[in-house]
Chains A and B, each alone.
Chain A
Amino acid sequence: MAEQYSVEIRSLTKRFGDVAAVDAVSLDIRRGEFFSLLGPSGCGKTTLLRMIGGFELPTEGANRIDGADVTWTPPYERPVNMVFQHYALFPHLTVAENVAFGLRYKGTGGAGEARRVAEVLALVQLSGFEKRRPHELSGGQRQRVALARALALEPEVLLLDEPLGALDQKLRKEVQVQLKHLQRSLGITFIFVTHDQEEALTMSDRIAVMNRGRVEQMDEAAQVFERPATEFVAHFMGAANFFAARVREAANGMAALVLEAGGEVRIPVDGTRYESGEAVRFVVRPEKLDLRARDLSGHGVPSVAVTIEDRVYQGVSTVWVVRDRADERLLVYEQNEKPFEEASKFAVGGQAFVCWNARHAVVIRGEAGPR
């Protein structure tokens, strides 16, 4: 009977002394999905991963894999395998012996073991490396051996603890794509821990953003990026253009907001009921803001008057640092589409307006997001 959920986590808590590294987290991870735990260091993502793997015992809560309760099961009895952050390759064994390490407990037998090792090394494109030792390999190669070793056991769920951290930028990006393809073709559930939001977005189907032991938002990758649920998630995903306002009126899915920075905008809101006069905050991502010379509110386009403070050239784009009348600093990302010799309309110290498509405004509710 195939369960829809590969991993079910219920109110899992891990306390070290008084501090809750993981605080009553509940998650359902679907079979065959690429799921990421994203957050800054210390947010509890690695501790959570280790509890799923069986390397930490929870203080409270339960953990089910494929329907079976594994909360107290030791790692060697769970149908899960882990790729460790620093790979944990056995230095005294060859690549082949490393990969074959766990096959002994599956009763595969000599010939079967050798076959499986060859199979899985081919999968990670390391055929022919059987007799090498870990210290003879590059970082990227070691990472692939660690992957092969875990996959050799055909686990239901593969856990990956920031496995790309030690790789250089270019290699990282290549491996991200390769891992994604691998996961798709194998159909195994991947649970991936990272602090790099770009990485999570590249590879994941769904993302859980964690902060201080709690999940602030769990959603499809695009949703987390475009529609952050909490202030923390907004900051973390780089959507830190905050606007403070008061509701003038809200009806039929639209709200008229009086900005602290001056002026009024109309943005779509979800079904939440807003009181007149209620204070709200919303964010607009920097790449969704446009710098304009004129106020376009008359045309129904939200516009806010700003002073230009700085301009930073970043190759692909230019970042404009501006300040609105409420003294909030805003960032505007502008694609460098025009020939760069052409002078810009805008100059540091000058005045302008930031405008955006109303649908890009996301209202932020308080600190913690939905569970």
Chain B
Amino acid sequence: MKGGRAGRGDRAAYPLVLPTWATLGVFFLLPLAILFVVSLGQRATYGGLKPIEDLGLYISSGKFLANYARAFHPIYLQIFWRSIWMAVVTTVVCLAISYPVAYYIAVTAPLKRRNLLLGLVVVPFWTSFLIRTYAWMFLLRTEGLINHFLLATGWISQPLELLYNNFAVLIGLIYGELPFMILPLFASLEKLDLSLLEASEDLGAGAVATFFRVTVPLTMPGIVAGIILVFVPSLGQFIVSDLLGGAKTILAGNLIQNQFAVARNKPFGAAVAFGLTAAVLALLFFYALYTKRKGQDVLL
């Protein structure tokens, strides 16, 4: 029962959220705002920002959007396109691999095993992304275990170039994001009322039909959540493409880092960063609409 202390006690909330607002406001929102302003600027010769002589002209001539315009150059478009299709492939493959696993844990496995099975998924979920990516470096290199094994068994005569290409990056991404797909799927499947599946079969639908007509629609919230949880981080990926991709597989994240650390073109890097952010926020906006329509539980 809410509002017992009608109005009077609710003001007690303000000092509680003050530290959060102060910290995030100054050290999160403000930097983002500044980054946005920077994205409208111009690079000075040694990095940093070039001072603008005529602000009015700068704005009216549209020059302030120069960095954003530059992002549409084919070289960069290629990078963005790669980020997108890699994220899509990762998401689709993760979904395909994860669904049966989540189904197994939620529906098939005996209940007393469940905590263990979940725990086994949670551990990689929280383990350093760095380490998990390194593991594939270790495996895929020309002197690595996989090549070594294939050579030793005589399947190949020359070591394969498994690393530093799209394939390696995809493996790394899929491997890294898998737990992020399993867990929301599990959460949805756990809530599934099994008697609905029995009813479906009772009414004549076989296993496959039941799956597509009953199970999938009912677990759609989990599917959508999983897609978001995998697609968004994949889009902004940096580590996997840096370690496993090399020069041939630059993604948006690498581009941004490159502009800040190497090319020292902060304004352009900022523009790309904001482009990425805009894409992510747009996706999440639609997700929010979807969950609002369904009346989902919120995390906060």
Indicate whether A and B are direct neighbours in the complex (CB within 8 Å): yes
Chain A residues within 8 Å of B, Cβ to Cβ: 16, 50, 55-57
Separation of A55 and B9 alpha carbons in the complex (Å): 12
When the two chains form their complex, are residues B5 and A57 in contact, meaning their CB atoms are under 8 A apart? yes
Shortest distance from the beta carbon of B21 to any chain A beta carbon, whole Å = 29
* B4 sits at the interface (CB 8 A): yes
* B208 sits at the interface (CB 8 A): no
Contacts of B1 in A (CB 8 A): 50, 55-56
Contacts of A55 in B (CB 8 A): 1, 4
Contacts of B51 in A (CB 8 A): none
Separation of A57 and B6 alpha carbons in the complex (Å): 7
Separation of A57 and B1 alpha carbons in the complex (Å): 12
* B19 sits at the interface (CB 8 A): no
Shortest distance from the beta carbon of B94 to any chain A beta carbon, whole Å = 40
Separation of A50 and B5 alpha carbons in the complex (Å): 12
Contacts of B6 in A (CB 8 A): 57
Q: A16-B3, A55-B4, A56-B1 are in contact. List 7 more A-B contacts (CB 8 A).
A: A50-B1, A50-B4, A55-B1, A56-B4, A57-B4, A57-B5, A57-B6
Shortest distance from the beta carbon of A84 to any chain B beta carbon, whole Å = 12
- CB-CB contacts below 8 Å: B1-19 with A: 1, 3-6
Looking across the interface, which residue of chain B has its beta carbon closest to that of A55?
B4
Shortest distance from the beta carbon of A21 to any chain B beta carbon, whole Å = 10
Contacts of A56 in B (CB 8 A): 1, 4
Separation of A16 and B6 alpha carbons in the complex (Å): 10
Contacts of A16 in B (CB 8 A): 3
* Category for how many chain B residues contact A: under 10
Contacts of A50 in B (CB 8 A): 1, 4
Shortest distance from the beta carbon of B8 to any chain A beta carbon, whole Å = 8
Shortest distance from the beta carbon of A44 to any chain B beta carbon, whole Å = 13
Shortest distance from the beta carbon of A256 to any chain B beta carbon, whole Å = 52
The interface bits of chain B over 224-241 (1 if a CB of A lies within 8 angstroms of the residue's CB, else 0) are 000000000000000000
Residue contacts A-B, CB under 8 angstroms, 10 given: A16-B3, A50-B1, A50-B4, A55-B1, A55-B4, A56-B1, A56-B4, A57-B4, A57-B5, A57-B6
Separation of A238 and B3 alpha carbons in the complex (Å): 36
Shortest distance from the beta carbon of A102 to any chain B beta carbon, whole Å = 19
Separation of A57 and B3 alpha carbons in the complex (Å): 9
Shortest distance from the beta carbon of A12 to any chain B beta carbon, whole Å = 15
Shortest distance from the beta carbon of A228 to any chain B beta carbon, whole Å = 30
Looking across the interface, which residue of chain B has its beta carbon closest to that of A54?
B4
Separation of A50 and B3 alpha carbons in the complex (Å): 12
Contacts of B5 in A (CB 8 A): 57
Separation of A11 and B4 alpha carbons in the complex (Å): 19
Shortest distance from the beta carbon of B2 to any chain A beta carbon, whole Å = 9
Looking across the interface, which residue of chain B has its beta carbon closest to that of A14?
B6
Shortest distance from the beta carbon of A316 to any chain B beta carbon, whole Å = 37
Shortest distance from the beta carbon of B181 to any chain A beta carbon, whole Å = 36
Separation of A1 and B281 alpha carbons in the complex (Å): 70
Looking across the interface, which residue of chain B has its beta carbon closest to that of A47?
B1
Looking across the interface, which residue of chain B has its beta carbon closest to that of A57?
B6
Separation of A55 and B6 alpha carbons in the complex (Å): 10
Separation of A16 and B3 alpha carbons in the complex (Å): 9
Closest 10 CB pairs of A and B: A56-B4, A55-B4, A57-B6, A57-B5, A57-B4, A50-B1, A16-B3, A56-B1, A50-B4, A55-B1
Separation of A67 and B5 alpha carbons in the complex (Å): 24
Looking across the interface, which residue of chain A has its beta carbon closest to that of B3?
A16
Separation of A56 and B2 alpha carbons in the complex (Å): 9
Shortest distance from the beta carbon of A15 to any chain B beta carbon, whole Å = 10
Separation of A99 and B6 alpha carbons in the complex (Å): 30
Shortest distance from the beta carbon of A278 to any chain B beta carbon, whole Å = 45
Looking across the interface, which residue of chain B has its beta carbon closest to that of A15?
B6
Separation of A224 and B81 alpha carbons in the complex (Å): 78
Contacts of B4 in A (CB 8 A): 50, 55-57
Separation of A50 and B4 alpha carbons in the complex (Å): 9
The interface bits of chain B over 123-166 (1 if a CB of A lies within 8 angstroms of the residue's CB, else 0) are 00000000000000000000000000000000000000000000
Shortest distance from the beta carbon of B3 to any chain A beta carbon, whole Å = 7
Shortest distance from the beta carbon of A1 to any chain B beta carbon, whole Å = 32
Contacts of B3 in A (CB 8 A): 16
Shortest distance from the beta carbon of A299 to any chain B beta carbon, whole Å = 57
